[in-house]
Structure 1
Amino acid sequence: YGSGDVAGNVVYAFLSSFVMIYLTDTVGLNPGIVGTLIAVSKLFDGITDIFFGSMIDKTHSKLGKARPWMLYGYIGCAITLVGIFAIPMGMSEFAKYAWFFICYSLLNAVFYTANNIAYSALTSLVTKNSAERVEMGSYRFMFAFATSLAIQSFTLLAVSALGDTAEAWRTVAIVYAIIGLIVNTLSVFSVKELPEEEFVDTTDKAEIEKDEKYGLVEAAKLLVSNKYYLMICVTYILQQIYGAMISMGTYYAAHILGDKNLFGVFSWAINIPLIIALVFTPTLVAKMHGMYKLNVGSYALATVARALVAVAGYTGSGGVKMMLLFTAIAALGQGPWQGDMNAVIASCSEYTWLTKHKRVDGTMYSCTSLGVKLGGGLGTAITGWLLAFSNYDKALAVQPESCINMLKLMYLVIPFVLDAIITFILSRMKVEEANDKIRAEMKN
């Protein structure tokens, strides 16, 4: 199961980390306009997330509910990913913007949505055991962060080795797409969903289908009525905006630290601690008898560490070494939530079942796709707007002071603020306690 996120991050990590620098420095597009196009494309996402989540809930096939969507959705992901990094250089400027917008919108609003919601929903469809769900989430994100680390470490090196041209970016995209297709297919056929009767209190197929009969409007109402779903959505969106700000490390390393290859070093400082934290997350959840205390405490640690990254970056005390140290500590604190997040979402789905008597596993996991796309898209859009506002000019070897100050704001200050907000939201995420209380009341 975990290997499926190799395929997901071949798309997401590559896109979020490098699409802006590819479009501005290779294709020559304006970062402000790119940011606006990305923001406009997000208008489709809320509808398609709920649509595909609802379709997964209503799917009955030999592969189960989620796996068909995971399998076939990725074919479109591979094609549109290559399309984004294969913009014909001979096109007019308007045509280049249009090409990017069409490919980006199809990738995010359609194909990645179908694949990612289905993949995430498997956590609740493969097992009913909360501990196993935490373990699945931990394995998933081990693969995710390992893939992100590899892509962030080697992409710029590969592009440079191939000539640092538009053709080089296209070649790298094709390689990543092929890898993603292979791994996604292997993941689909390596897991098996439980029979539908396992998740409801009846074996009557007519009764099961009755519980699944709801339209898009009712699905949206079910989600909005679940306060824990809304909390996770906001948290997911903030996490992806955080990731977009961290991806500005490509610019920060080049124009402030003076070495663009340091971005890869910082990627190691982020992803290795995350993987280490994920290894121990299932054990920590068991020892702490739940996910709540672990998530709040570890994210509070991450918030303090990100504040210290900002202090080191602005004061220069210890320079890069201190920034790397505190970056690693912050990542260590963020790891547990990444590992048990899918299990928390499964608990949110259970909350809807207990309160509304509706199975909405696929629809509930729309928060993962919505968060990744809306948060990642808005994050990338915001970075584009801020770069344009700060007068970033790819032709300048030394950027203006306004740009330097903006890069510091994006890479040092905003990630700290986002971590602080996420910590507060997690302190309110008491869904396990709510479910236990409802079950106790039902027994009485």
Structure 2
Amino acid sequence: MEAVENISVGLNTGASERISAKKERTGSRVSVREKVCYGVGDIGANLVWTTVASFLTIYCTDVAGIAAGVVGTLMLIARLFDGVSDLFMGIIIDKTNTRWGKARPWVLWSAPPLVISLVMIFTVPKLSADGKALYLLLVYIFLAAVCFTASNLSYNTMLSLVTTEQHDRNVMNTFRFEFTMIAQLVINVITIPLVHKLGNGQKGWTYMSVIYAVVAMAMFAVTFLGTKERYKPVKPAASQKEKKHPVKTVKTLCKNKYFILITLAFAVIYTSLGLTGGARIYYAKYVLGDEMLNSTMTLFNYIPTILTIMLIPLFTKRFGKIKALFIGFSFYAVGLILEIAGPVNLPMIYSGLVLQGIGHAALYSCLFAIVGDVVDYSEWKDGIREEGLTYSVTSFGQKIGTGLGTAALGWILAAGNYDGMAAVQPDSAIFAIKALFLYLPLVITGIVLVIWYLFMGIDKIYPTIRKELDERRMQAAE
């Protein structure tokens, strides 16, 4: 009788452990509080990255006195370091094993040097032209290729480690980008007025960067303290214990069509965002004739995103993320066409920005969650689950895109004979600004629509992927 009871207790214990393991894998214990704590981390990231992407070029050309073409070239040179740093950081995250998890500790460790570099990049010292260029290059490489790589890649990777449940990821991503859009809205609306209020010229930019750095540090601390990594990779059987070399893993991932498509999507999308984000202030100042309209344009663009983004999970739950993205980018394209039709007509500009904002809602709610699906697809198809490495290449695409957008901003302005010290710009410079803000983003949007069409297949097979992966993990746990 005692033996039977022991067997019964053992079976019940094993069943409880399996149920507990299943809950841990599905991320069923992710609370709203934790989702909020995860989301505010992107406020910190945007206080650095959006500020740099939107205002560094105009700061360099109109305050620091660095030529637009030189700024563009320096941005592209800095991007060459990003490819190595992203891959290297992805490998480091995959090899990290602490009591706080794999990716989460790096969010905290990378925060102090990241916010310090933000202050440094908006405090270019009074040097010769070559000295200023060298200073900008070195600080930008430190900020983007070292600090931001460690911070943002670890933050993105956390999404697939906090939970493996697809809908939970979508909701977490929605929380994240709701905060992202609010942060970007506030940054784009208040930065120029804040700089003017804090002081003329260099002093205003330095004080602004110090304020943003302090707030960003607090946001990163909240994310670290308020989240938990739950997913623990299932230990492979003895016959499967051999660990692939990272180069072989990358080669295998490069045969995965969805891995290639998502990396390409990140690159072209962030090229467009780099163009429009950096060119908006130039468009307001020189095409519309009032740089303060930059704040109003931002409101018309970001408020529709903030209002729409909370509805996206309802749509994706029924129709899938890819369809949401396809429809969203269709809205974005229509908005650009409307602006092109009335380039100095404020009602048409504002209407186009509203449509673009609706398109942004789908982008921000779904894009990073899709990377988690690609991680699952790689594990299901090829037996490879390397969150850090997968997110590192998409992060590479993100930063290459932003770098190309920023570089193109400088080069095209230089090609249009833009002079940051001149009160009036020539017609060639005005055309260059319109191309940056309107024409090139429309071409890129067409490319992205093709990518999402090719991506439709993963939404169709994902239920099968999820079911079979759960079965494999349950068998391994047993």
- Give the TM-score normalised by structure 1: 0.93
Q: Does 1:145 pair with 2:181?
A: yes
Q: Distance in 2 between matches of 1:112 and 1:6?
A: 13
Cross-structure match for 1:271 = 302
| Larger Rg, first or second structure (1 or 2) | 2
- The alpha carbon displacement at 1:438 in A equals 5.9
Cross-structure match for 2:64 = 27
Once the two structures are superposed, what CA deviation does each residue of 1:332-366 show, in whole Å capped at 9, x if it has no partner?
Answer: 02311320222211110011111221221111112
Cross-structure match for 1:410 = 436
Secondary structure at 2:425 match in 1: coil
Once the two structures are superposed, what CA deviation does each residue of 1:80-139 show, in whole Å capped at 9, x if it has no partner?
Answer: 1111111112x2221111111011001111111111111011111011110010011111
Once the two structures are superposed, what CA deviation does each residue of 1:44-89 show, in whole Å capped at 9, x if it has no partner?
Answer: 1112111111211121101101011111112221111111111112
Cross-structure match for 1:292 = 322
- The alpha carbon displacement at 1:225 in A equals 2.0
- Asked if structure 1 preserves the Cα contact closer than 8 Å seen for 2:162 and 2:231, the reply is no
AA partner of residue 83 (structure 1): M
Alignment of 1:231-380 (within 5 A): 231-246=261-276, 247-288=278-319, 290-313=320-343, 316=344, 319-380=345-406
Give the number of equivalent residue pairs.
Answer: 431
Q: Distance in 1 between matches of 2:311 and 2:462?
A: 25
- Asked if structure 2 preserves the Cα contact closer than 8 Å seen for 1:232 and 1:367, the reply is no
Q: Does 1:87 pair with 2:124?
A: yes
Cross-structure match for 2:259 = 229
What runs of 5+ residues in structure 1 fail to find an aligned partner? Answer: none
- Asked if structure 2 preserves the Cα contact closer than 8 Å seen for 1:50 and 1:219, the reply is no
- Give the TM-score normalised by structure 2: 0.86
Cross-structure match for 2:28 = none
Q: Does 1:101 pair with 2:137?
A: yes
CA RMSD of aligned residues (A): 2.0
- The alpha carbon displacement at 1:187 in A equals 0.8
Cross-structure match for 2:413 = 387
- Asked if structure 1 preserves the Cα contact closer than 8 Å seen for 2:273 and 2:402, the reply is yes
- Asked if structure 2 preserves the Cα contact closer than 8 Å seen for 1:4 and 1:183, the reply is yes
What runs of 5+ residues in structure 2 fail to find an aligned partner? Answer: 1-37, 472-478
Cross-structure match for 2:86 = 49
User: In 2 relative to 1, CA 57–386 (structure 1 residues): closer, same or farther, beyond 3 Å?
Assistant: same
Cross-structure match for 1:71 = 108
Secondary structure at 1:65 match in 2: coil
- Asked if structure 2 preserves the Cα contact closer than 8 Å seen for 1:137 and 1:342, the reply is yes
User: In 2 relative to 1, CA 207–125 (structure 1 residues): closer, same or farther, beyond 3 Å?
Assistant: farther
Cross-structure match for 2:194 = 158
Q: Distance in 2 between matches of 1:195 and 1:129?
A: 10
Q: Distance in 1 between matches of 2:123 and 2:416?
A: 28
